[in-house]
Amino acid sequence: MQNPKKWKLILLVWCGIYPCITLLSVTVVPLLKNLPIYLKTLVMTIILVPIMVLVIIPTIHKYFHIWLRK
């Protein structure tokens, strides 16, 4: 079985991460406005990484597996 091309993975991960970051920036960041940037980033990544690994990436692979293998 052929490994997916890196540019396809990059594109699909970006398509998944961009809306997540945007949504978190609108919903979570305002609640953290008094924290230093490194703590805001910590909170964002604590939320974002599990969402990406457990939800977004598996969904991307499920719906785009054929295209990824071409």
Mean pLDDT of the chain: 94
For residue 1, the model assigns a pLDDT of: 65
DSSP one-letter string for 42-63: HHHHHHHHHHIIIIIHHHHHHH
Compute the average pLDDT of residues 30-34. Answer: 94
Q: What's the number of domains the chain is made of? A: 1
Q: Which domain holds residue 21?
A: 6-69
The predicted structure's pLDDT at residue 31: 94
State both tokens at 5.
């091309």
Reported confidence tier of residue 3, pLDDT bands at 50, 70, 90: confident
In the predicted structure, residue 26 carries a pLDDT above the cut 90 = yes
> Is 31 among the domain residues?
yes
C-alpha separations of 54 from 12, 14, 31 in Å? 15, 16, 25
